[in-house]
Amino acid sequence: MRKKQNNITEAIAKGYRLKPETHLLVEKLSRKINGTKDEVISRACKMFDNSVNRSMKNRNNNKN
């Protein structure tokens, strides 16, 4: 994946240092959704972000 900015090409690293059991889980999920490992990690991050946002919203609502 490359991003051009002012005619300068900037590379974005895609290497992940994960535990072996995490690699196995990502591989298992990628087969289940028939997608790539990158798609699995991206979807998981988005789901986690949504979960954190909901938790923070609920916490703020409980304070009021």
For tokens 């991003």, what's the residue? 3
What token pair was written down for 18? 């994960």
Distance CA 32, CA 29 (A): 5
pTM for the full predicted model = 0.67
Instruction: Tell me whether residue 59 is in a domain.
Output: yes
Could you tell me the residue range of the domain that residue 54 belongs to? 30-64
**Number of folded domains that form the chain:** 1
Whether residue 1 is contained in a domain is answered as no
Does residue 12 belong to any structural domain of this protein? no
Q: Per the domain annotation, does 15 fall within a domain? A: no
Given a contact cutoff of 8 angstroms between Cβ atoms, the answer to whether 40 and 26 are in contact is: yes
Q: How far apart are CA 64 and CA 58, in angstroms?
A: 10
Looking at the domain assignment, is residue 4 inside a domain?
no
- Under a CB-based contact definition with an 8 Å cutoff, are residues 26 and 41 in contact? yes
| Tens digits of residue pLDDT in 13-47 | 667 688 999 999 999 999 999 999 999 999 999 99
